[in-house]
Amino acid sequence: MTEYQAFKVELNDNIAHVQINRPEKYNAMNAPFWSEIVEIFKWIDDTDAVRAVVISGAGKHFSAGIDLMMLASLANELGKDVGRNARLLRRTILRMQASFNAVDNCRKPVLAAIQGYCIGGAIDLVSACDMRYCSSDAQFSIKEIDMGMAADVGTLQRLPRIIGDGIMRELAYTGRTVEAEEAQRIGLVNRVYDDHQALLEGVFAIAAEIAGKSPIAVAGTKEMLSYMRDHRIDDGLEYIATWNAAMLQSTDLRVAVAAHMSKQKPEFAD
């Protein structure tokens, strides 16, 4: 397994565990973070043995968001011409967005296990995951508003689909903290666990459940659900028909039906 500066990555039982690993810095997102996450998810995408992914943070907190040192060094690159600065800033934002697009576009389901702080850029990150789970001490805040800026790496784009437009706006305009219980009530997380250990065990159990399914079926399901976030129902129906025109010829259906008949757990190839 490759070594990373900002992450620790493990693969066991077809589940990749991607751990943000700067606990002494509240897992703040520094320059290596933004580039390594792309490499990691490229590896995940290319590795058929990975069937589900868990993202978590080492230590007490999931992540406090972008590292302010990184913002400062960005500011230093700016010159005198507003137009050329804009060109530079636009490219930089697009590149940072690409880091979380790599999570969103990953062909395998990605589960976020969130404890402690989940702030600013961390919300952008978990909004790009398939599902979110937290421990009872979790605290969420769309902190960008307090930095004098509109969040620009995914929260404002993806979170409204998850929690609805009404509460979304309150959270985005005020940056107020959301506790675990409210997070579940508004649909930000699917479940709250008592503590960090229960959180990880619970999330890995769900990931294991998913890893046991046909990877062809799971990939098709994810493709379709992502597609439906911003396509029409009729387009989605046509797309799945075209997709399944190939995929229903896979052996996985026969494996599944045979297992169902014999009441055994099916074994699917990667």
Cβ neighbours of residue 133 under 8 Å, at least 6 residues apart? 111, 112, 113, 114, 189, 190, 191, 192, 193, 199, 202, 203, 206
Backbone region of residue 154 per phi and psi (left: phi > 0; alpha: psi in -120 to 50; beta: other values) = left
> How far is residue 174's CA from residue 49's CA, in Å, rounded to a whole number?
43
* Residue 21 CB, nearest approach to a copy of itself (Å): 25
Site for a copy of itself in 82-101 (CB under 8 A): 82-87, 89-90, 93-94, 97, 101
Interaction between residue 237 and a copy of itself (CB under 8 A): yes
Rg of the chain taking only CA atoms, in angstroms: 20
Q: How far apart are the first and last CA of the chain?
A: 19
Site for a copy of itself in 189-208 (CB under 8 A): 189-190, 206
Site for a copy of itself in 114-153 (CB under 8 A): 130-132, 144-152
Interaction between residue 269 and a copy of itself (CB under 8 A): yes
Question: Which of 40/142 has CB closer to a copy of itself?
Answer: 142
Interaction between residue 67 and a copy of itself (CB under 8 A): no
Interaction between residue 69 and a copy of itself (CB under 8 A): no
Interaction between residue 32 and a copy of itself (CB under 8 A): no
Site for a copy of itself in 1-20 (CB under 8 A): none
| 9 SS3 class | strand
Interface stretch with a copy of itself, choices 16-24, 34-42, 54-62, 244-252 (CB under 8 A): 244-252
Question: Which of 198/248 has CB closer to a copy of itself?
Answer: 248
Give the distance, in angstroms, between the CA of residue 82 and the centroid of all CA atoms in the same chain: 34
Question: Which of 27/155 has CB closer to a copy of itself?
Answer: 155
Q: Which of 15, 37, 44, 66 is catalytic?
A: 66
Q: Are 27 and 60 in contact, with CB atoms under 8 Å apart?
A: no
**Length reported for the chain:** 270
Active-site residue 130, yes or no? Answer: no
* Residues labelled as active-site residues: 66, 121, 124, 144, 152
